[in-house]
Structure 1
């Protein structure tokens, strides 16, 4: 998080590929510990570069799965409950992008959340609402179908209110065992998303990088922009696609919104 040339902490002040170079409206880290299915969360409204506790945690915490995010608000308040990642049970969720004209459509979207899940919504962001809509549409049972239904619903509501391009997103969600990443936007010009090549391939390309010898064959990074400029390491997720990082064979396939 802090060591690469283009670390997430660096991106909080100088992102190269985001909608804005400055992501100073808070940050968050979620991670899983052995024997506990509920992930830990550390979130702050401080800019990531200014929080000394973040460096301490990053240096000492060890986990098989991290999810981290630096925030640039699209209009909702700068407060801890609006910082990503969001958590519900053993699930984590982070999002880049936005629901366009959110103030216009939010009432219709909120009413679609399962009443049993609704009390868990703590903040006011479109990102957290998207998470709870995906949970409502079956994230626990079938994550891909749930996110496709969530996006289809948001687009339907947006278009009913005259919004031309209702949704812009890259989303990453995980249950602690697998990780799902989605890249989609209504206009087909989505935020960037990249993943790393197989560790064995990267080692062959860069045998002189000591860090690569410490990684397992199952290691993958999914990022909004590359953390380094090492050739052959980073592959862009195609437009309107999703990926699944899991033990064994990973998945990359086309993403299609569905009518919920």
Structure 2
């Protein structure tokens, strides 16, 4: 299991959102409050952010715990961005370790993170692996379930799906192959945030003036929008996303759409006629 967070809004220091709040993502690496599986997220971390005028994000990732990296503390204090995605990792059993397995994963303008686990990894999704072009399988950044899920999402994005459709179809495919999977996915291109709640907690905050440390939402960039595994403070205006839901956010709006569970569709399907 992991914890992750994505932000859209006025340009702010990374640390103002990721480090300074009382229950920030930084603190969630050793003391998450709402994590249902695992207790410590010390198997790596990463942050990806967008600089003005460049649609391709930068990334900083490491294999160790976020609290042990003094370079990140300096980076978070001075780097400013109006869009970023960060994650702290608790590795799935049977997955590779190392920096390459730490989110966010990236391709072009996209950043991606997976909070959860693919049940029965890797055998449970062997048939899904066959749906990917061989070059995509050989290009997996790491041998872990999150990198594989990202490959499935990216294949759909490259085929022309928008972010919401790519996440929804990927969740449906993986959930059908490995029904006990937890598939909270988080995707951004610097202009939108798309996420799924599937098996673990997901929250969002979209209120004027509701960033920590009095950060100013009146500046250009729209209302601050934060989508996270769990709230970074105790403000009551955090909204929990229902399980089996797709979230789509821009700098001005948040929309929630129920996701279909493939197990429900199978249960409601009429029985096949016996062959003669």
Q: Are 1:254 and 2:258 an aligned pair?
A: yes
**C-alpha distance in 2, partners of 1:199/1:86?**
30
After superposition, where does 1:13-24 map in structure 2 within 5 Å?
13-18=30-35, 19-24=37-42
Residue 10 (str. 1) matches residue 15 (str. 2): no
Flag the 1:151–1:119 CA change in 2: closer, same or farther, 3 A.
Answer: same
Higher relative contact order (CA 8 A, sep 6+): 2
Aligned to 1:59, the other structure's residue is in SS state helix
Q: Which residue of 1 aligns with 2:190?
A: 176
TM-aligned CA distance change 1:13 to 1:118, over 3 Å: same
Q: Cα offset for 1:212? A: 4.3
Deviation string 1:131-154 (CA, Å, 9 cap, x unpaired) is 111222346532222222212222
1:149-203 Cα offsets, whole Å, 9 max, x none, are: 2122223333xxxxxx34212111011211101112xxxxx21111014216x59
CA apart distance, 1:214: 4.9
The corresponding residue for 1:239 is 243
2: CA distance between counterparts of 1:106 and 1:224? 25
2:43 pairs with 1:25: yes
Q: 2:100 is paired with a residue of what secondary structure? A: helix
- In structure 1, the gaps of 5 or more residues are 159-164, 185-189, 204-208
What TM-score do you get using the length of structure 1 for normalisation?
Answer: 0.85
Query: Can you give the 5+ residue segments of structure 2 that lack an aligned partner in the other structure?
Result: 1-17, 266-276
Aligned length: 241
Report SS of the residue matched to 1:67: strand
- 1:52-131 correspondence to structure 2 within 5 Å: 52-75=70-93, 76-131=95-150
Deviations 1:220-257 (A, max 9, x none): 11111110112x22110111111111133321221225
- Post-superposition offset of 1:38: 1.2
In 2, are the aligned partners of 1:148 and 1:257 still within 8 Å (CA)? no
Match of 2:208? 199
**What RMSD, in angstroms, separates the aligned Cα atoms of the two structures?**
2.2
Structure-2 separation of matches of 1:210 and 1:227:
12
- CA deviation after TM superposition for structure 1 residue 25, in Å: 0.5
